[in-house]
Each structure stands twice: as C-alpha cells, then as structure tokens.
C-alpha cells in the first residue's frame, strides 16, 4: 500500500507541475516531487506510525527482535515523530529547508533498504526484495532525484 502512496505522491507532483501557472521547469518539478513525497509519504503516514509506536511500543517490539521495554523502540518512535513533523513543514517552507527535511529521510530509507536486504532471508525471496526496494529504496531515489532536479542549495546566499 505504501508503494501506491509513493506513486500517488509523484503523480500528484507531476500533475501539479504541469497544471501550474507557468511553464513547468525542471527545478519546479523537482521541488514539487520532493514536497509531495515529504508530505504524502514521509509526513502523514510516518506521523501516524510514530504515534502508534509511542502509544503501543510493544507492537513495534514484536516486529523488531527486541523486548517491549527496549529503549530503541521509544527512540525509534521519537525519531519518526521529529522527522515526520519536519517533512510536514514542507507544506510551508521551501528552498534549503527541503534539503534539510529530505536528506535524513533519503538516508534513513536507504539504510532501511540495506538492513532489510541483509536480513538472513528477506521476506518472500526476490519478490520480497523487490517489495523492500519499492517501499524503502525507491523513496530515497525519488527524494534524491527531486533534490537534484530542484537544486534547493542553488538559491542559498552567502552566510550572514
């Protein structure tokens, strides 16, 4: 289901870029892809995940090979909460903020892909590996591609 959310976010960004008041540019399209992915994939769903983790850490602990009182579960919930709130701020902020909000998610999902693929037996063999990439690794690819297209760092001025 999250793969469909990602596809919907990218499709929404492309439609938005195409239907905007000005001719779509590569930079505008890239920025919209980053914004839509941050809000629709890294923001809203991951905010719900973080609330679920913090409300019932024992359910998350069942998915991880740790006990329900392990501090890592709480840390995971708080980290998701902070990162998802930063992603949601992409609704109001642009430019270098998008770089700061998207980069942690790109690194996180790239790392999650590596961790899942190095598991003793990724769920479902090759199909499971493809699903892991579709719901984790592809998010990193979309965010980095959108950042490279949008080049938010190009609008940075010298430090004041």
Please tell me the number of Cα atoms within 13 Å of 104 on its side-chain side. Answer: 16
Instruction: Determine the Cα–Cα distance for residues 58 and 64; give it in Å rounded to an integer.
Output: 10
Instruction: Determine the Cα–Cα distance for residues 103 and 4; give it in Å rounded to an integer.
Output: 22
Handedness of CA 40, 45, 48, 54 (dihedral sign): negative
Kindly state the average pLDDT of the residues 88-103: 92
Q: Kindly report the pTM of this predicted structure.
A: 0.86
Residue 158 has pLDDT above 60, yes or no: no
Residue 160 has pLDDT above 70, yes or no: no
* Reported confidence tier of residue 135, pLDDT bands at 50, 70, 90: confident
DSSP per-residue codes, 105-142:
HHHHHHHHHHHHHTSSS-TTHHHHHHHHIIIIIHHHHH
**What are the residue boundaries of the structural domains of the chain, listed by start?**
2-152
């Amino acid at each position: 289901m999250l793969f469909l959310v990602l596809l919907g976010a990218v499709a929404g960004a492309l439609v938005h870029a195409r239907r905007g008041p000005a001719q779509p540019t590569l930079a505008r399209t890239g920025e919209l892809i980053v914004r839509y992915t941050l809000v629709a994939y890294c923001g809203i769903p991951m905010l719900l995940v973080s609330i679920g983790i913090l409300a019932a850490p024992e359910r998350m602990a069942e998915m991880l090979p740790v006990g329900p009182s392990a501090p890592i579960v709480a840390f995971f919930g708080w980290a998701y909460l902070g990162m998802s709130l930063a992603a949601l701020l992409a609704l109001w902020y642009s430019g270098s903020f998008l770089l700061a909000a998207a980069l942690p998610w790109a690194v996180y999902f790239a790392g999650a892909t590596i961790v899942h693929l190095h598991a003793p037996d990724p769920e479902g063999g090759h199909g499971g590996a493809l699903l892991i990439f579709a719901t984790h690794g592809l998010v990193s690819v979309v965010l980095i591609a959108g950042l490279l297209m949008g080049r938010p760092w190009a609008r940075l001025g010298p430090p004041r």
